[in-house]
C-alpha cells in the first residue's frame, strides 16, 4: 500500500470519481458512435452484417443487462 502511495496513487475522493465517470462515459459514447458509423457503412457497401455490428449489439446487451441487474439488486425489488 505504501508503494502505491509513493507512486502517487491515493484513495479517490468524490471529485476523482466524478472525473473518472465522465471520462468513461465520454469514451463509451465515442466508441458507440464509431461502431455505429462503421456498421452502417459495412451494411450499405457490403450488404452484410460484419463484426462491428456484432460488437455494438453485444456491448448494448451487456450494458443494459448490467444496468437492469444493478438497479434491481440495489432497490431490493422496491419501486419508488
- What are the pLDDT tens digits along the chain (80 aa)? 677 777 777 777 788 888 889 999 999 999 999 999 999 999 999 998 899 999 999 999 999 999 999 889 888 756 55
Domain ranges across the chain: 12-74
Distance CA 7, CA 74 (A): 35
The percent of the chain in helix, strand and coil, each rounded to the nearest 5, is 80, 0, 20
The CA angle 66-80-77, to the nearest 5 degrees, is 50
Amino acid at each position: 500500500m505504501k508503494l502505491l502511495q509513493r507512486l502517487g496513487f491515493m484513495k479517490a475522493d468524490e471529485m476523482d470519481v466524478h472525473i473518472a465517470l465522465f471520462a468513461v462515459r465520454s469514451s463509451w459514447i465515442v466508441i458507440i458512435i464509431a461502431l455505429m458509423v462503421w456498421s452502417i457503412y459495412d451494411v450499405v457497401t457490403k450488404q452484410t452484417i460484419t463484426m462491428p455490428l456484432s460488437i455494438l449489439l453485444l456491448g448494448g446487451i451487456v450494458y443494459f443487462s448490467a444496468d437492469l441487474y444493478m438497479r434491481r439488486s440495489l432497490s431490493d425489488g422496491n419501486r419508488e
